[in-house]
Amino acid sequence: MAGLRVIIVDDEESTVAICKFALQRLGMEVETALTASEALMKVRQEAFDLAVVDWLLPDGSGMALFRMMREHLPQLVGILITGQNVADTNREALEAGFWAFLPKPFTISEFQATVERAAAYIRAIRERERLELMMSLSEVAQQIATSLETEEVLQRILHVALQQAKADKVSVMLVDQSTSPPRLRLVAAEGLSPDLLSIEVPVGEGIAGQVVITGAPLLINAQTIHQFSPTALHYQGAGSALCLPLKVGSKVVGVLNLTRLTSDRPFSESDIRLYLVLAAQAALAIENAQLHQKIREGYISALASFCKFAETLMPYRQGHSIRVGIYAKQLAEVVGLSKQEAEQLRIAALMQDLGLLKVPKEVLTKPGRLTDEEWQLVKQHPIWSLELVDPPAILTETIEAAVKHHHERFDGNGYPNRLKGEQIPFPARLLAVADTFDALCSERPYRPAYSTEQALEEMRKVSGSQLDPDLTDAFIQSVADGGNS
């Protein structure tokens, strides 16, 4: 029975003293109150599992008091004690939400037996809830790891923690080993003031810093907070919090902070084991996403170098892919795509014309009209571009669609699949607008470079035939607003 918190409410001090002694003998934590107002004040400040309430109190009825207590603590279980008529009182007690009714006078053994049955009921309910939550957490936590984008992983962790832990505040802090000494940086949070999102502390300082050093979780509540600096977890004097290490093997990569501001269901020691399941999955997902990001950044760097090399073989194209990437990313942001999608379009621009390396140089630099055979070679370059890149390392659906179809025309006369209108993937239509603008503004073997005004005028002419009209309008407007220069 240890750990169960009970409040006894009775105006007879002798009854209160006997009941308190009896429950302490069972290892329970006991608070007492002689009036309804005193009991309500304590319930508003602390959490209890069980309330033993007298029928009649100096300032109100036990029935009314228990209803008000459950407004603050919905999970509270109640036992009504009274000397009133058994049949009528038992019915009214059940209607008021009491779990059991104990008529006076009663012996200590009878009282202890009734409370022990209530305690067994409470523990059974709590255990069932924990098992259900454990199963749900295990399933949901595994879903976190399905993404390899660090930002998306962090947002999933926040979402799952808020829902499953019923937390009011959630934050993730990661260890930055690039600084000396290493520091903990707040990288994602929900429920915190925006001005706290730039927090960073040296490893070893504050609650989170200690958790990183020890690798052990901490439970912070009204009983333990005096051991720590209240500002370290922005503790507000009510509720409770868990600070859980994010561990990959024996290595601590950060911490997961969960805070409940209300006192109706504070975190407990058993919650630590429960939410360490979430923390373990979160740590693994973050580690995988960061590793994937490093690998991808290496590929992107190599891709940019490869692109520069390719463009040295075609001097008139130098800088083309980088510029197209800048225009595509800016246009993506203008039309409301996510930062992740905008960045993928920048990468697609680096890849889009790598396939031209397989086209004979004399064809690419030919000043006159291409033959049908030469044109067929050029039309293969989007497919060849994709073949030159390692798919698992860098390709996403957005990048693949943009590269493969950026030469499709809105009227259906493009290549390689003669797609028309909205059959053309949106990323490809967007990349085509950026690519067309830079191509017009660049010198070619068969024509001089257009000025910005001439290029935009030409784009207006082919809007709806070659280019998506809405994206063309958005691009032209962004240039007018100073978005591309």
β-strand partners of 201: 184
Residue ending a domain, among 232, 267, 285, is 285
pLDDT for the residue 415: 92
Total length of the chain: 485
Claim to verify: residue 17 and residue 120 sit in the same structural domain: yes
Q: What is the percent of the chain where pLDDT is above 70?
A: 88
Claim to verify: residue 227 and residue 317 sit in the same structural domain: no
Q: Is residue 300 part of a domain?
A: no
> Which of the four pLDDT bands, split at 50, 70 and 90, describes residue 100?
confident
The answer to whether residues 241 and 260 touch, using CB atoms and an 8 Å cutoff, is: yes
Claim to verify: residue 122 and residue 151 sit in the same structural domain: no
Residue 234: pLDDT above 50?
A: no
The answer to whether residues 191 and 158 touch, using CB atoms and an 8 Å cutoff, is: no
Instruction: Measure the CA–CA gap between 423 and 93, rounded to whole angstroms.
Output: 68
Sign of CA pseudo-dihedral 157, 162, 164, 165:
positive
Q: What is the percent of the chain where pLDDT is above 90?
A: 40
Name the least confident of 99-108, 457-466, 475-484. Answer: 475-484
Q: What mean pLDDT do residues 131-160 have?
A: 72
Residue 148: pLDDT above 80?
A: no
Q: Is residue 303 part of a domain?
A: no
Q: Is residue 81 within a helix (H) or strand (E), and if so which, with residue range?
A: strand 77-82
Show the beta-strand stretches assigned E in 177-230. 183-190, 200-202, 218-221
Q: Is residue 140 part of a domain?
A: no
Claim to verify: residue 467 and residue 361 sit in the same structural domain: yes
pLDDT for the residue 230: 44
Q: Is residue 139 part of a domain?
A: no
Tally of domains within the chain: 3
Which amino acid, residue 59? D
Tokens in use for 251? 């290595």
Contacts with 11 (C-beta within 8 Å, 6 or more apart), sequence order: 34, 35, 54, 56, 57, 58
Note the pLDDT tens digit of each residue in 320-372.
889 999 999 999 999 999 988 999 999 999 998 888 888 888 887 787 888 98
β-strand partners of 247: 252
Claim to verify: residue 156 and residue 45 sit in the same structural domain: no
Which amino acid, residue 310? A
Question: Which CATH number do you get for residue 50?
Answer: 3.40.50.2300
β-strand partners of 260: 240
Q: Is residue 340 part of a domain?
A: yes
pLDDT for the residue 254: 93
Q: Is residue 422 within a helix (H) or strand (E), and if so which, with residue range?
A: none
What is the Cα 273 distance to its own chain's centre? 21
Claim to verify: residue 158 and residue 122 sit in the same structural domain: no
Claim to verify: residue 348 and residue 465 sit in the same structural domain: yes
Model pTM? Answer: 0.60
Q: What mean pLDDT do residues 130-151 have?
A: 67
pLDDT for the residue 45: 78
> Strand order in 50-54's β-sheet?
29-33, 5-9, 50-54, 77-82, 100-103
Instruction: Measure the CA–CA gap between 436 and 421, rounded to whole angstroms.
Output: 17
Claim to verify: residue 278 and residue 323 sit in the same structural domain: no
Report the chain's mean pLDDT, rounded to a whole number. 85
Q: What mean pLDDT do residues 264-271 have?
A: 74
Claim to verify: residue 327 and residue 244 sit in the same structural domain: no
What's the DSSP call for residue 448? Answer: P
Claim to verify: residue 431 and residue 352 sit in the same structural domain: yes
pLDDT for the residue 50: 93
The domain of 109 spans: 5-127
Q: Is residue 291 part of a domain?
A: no
Claim to verify: residue 281 and residue 418 sit in the same structural domain: no
Tokens in use for 388? 């030159």
Tokens in use for 423? 């059959």
> Helices marked H in 195-337 — which ranges?
206-214, 269-312, 320-334
Q: Is residue 136 part of a domain?
A: no
Claim to verify: residue 149 and residue 263 sit in the same structural domain: yes
Note the pLDDT tens digit of each residue in 50-95.
999 998 899 988 989 999 988 878 888 999 998 776 566 667 777 7
